[in-house]
Amino acid sequence: MVTRGLLVRCDVVSGKDAEVEAFLKSALPAVQSERGTPAWFAIRFGRSEYGIFDVFPDDAAREAHLGGAVAAGLMQRSSSLFTEPPQIVKLDVLAEKMPGMQSAAMTFLVPAGAATDPETPSAGRRRPTPGWSDP
């Protein structure tokens, strides 16, 4: 069972999308070796906006991941790849559905003004999505 998570958002410097995608894909083997990270996703929110979503069984596993190779590499390359430091949000998982587990659901909030269409850069436009809400 997972109880903790991370959502990381990164706005990419113009012209660096391919480099960021390659970096995120190259991080997969390091994350696969982390016993405390049962699920990890490199994601694209829209043009020039990428992120990572991952979950953990507890705070200790999340902190170990934050102290690991992927986080170090992300921060080391931050100034050359991103317009600002990555936004890292720690979150609590209320319920989950993962392979080999009973069905459940997970909910998280979309920040006000965030683009929800992967083809639309964050420009404050929003598309209603069932189950998502603002605080």
Supply the CATH number for residue 17's domain: 3.30.70.100
Nearest residue to 116 (alpha-carbon basis) of 103, 129, 107, 97: 129
Q: Is the pTM of this model over 0.85?
A: no
In a domain, 131, yes or no: no
Question: Mean pLDDT lowest for which of 92-96, 97-101, 109-113?
Answer: 109-113
Residues 59 and 105: their CA atoms lie apart, in Å, by: 20
In a domain, 103, yes or no: no
Report whether pLDDT(1) > 60.
yes
Q: How many domains does the chain have?
A: 1
In a domain, 31, yes or no: yes
In a domain, 107, yes or no: no
pLDDT, one tens digit per residue, over 46-71 is 989 999 999 999 999 999 999 999 99
35 CB-near residues (< 8 Å, 6+ apart): none
In a domain, 119, yes or no: no
- On whether the CB atoms of residues 4 and 25 are closer than 8 A, the answer is no
pLDDT, one tens digit per residue, over 87-97 is 999 999 999 99
Q: What per-residue string of b and e applies to 42-81 under the rule 16 or more CB within 10 Å gives b?
A: bebbbebbbbbbbbbbeeebbeebbebebbeebeeeeeeb
Q: In DSSP terms, which residues pair with 90 in a beta bridge?
A: 6
pLDDT, one tens digit per residue, over 121-130 is 444 433 444 4
**Domain range for 76:** 4-92
Burial label, 17 (beta-carbon count in 10 A; 0-12, 13-18, 19+)? middle
pLDDT, one tens digit per residue, over 67-86 is 999 999 999 999 999 999 99
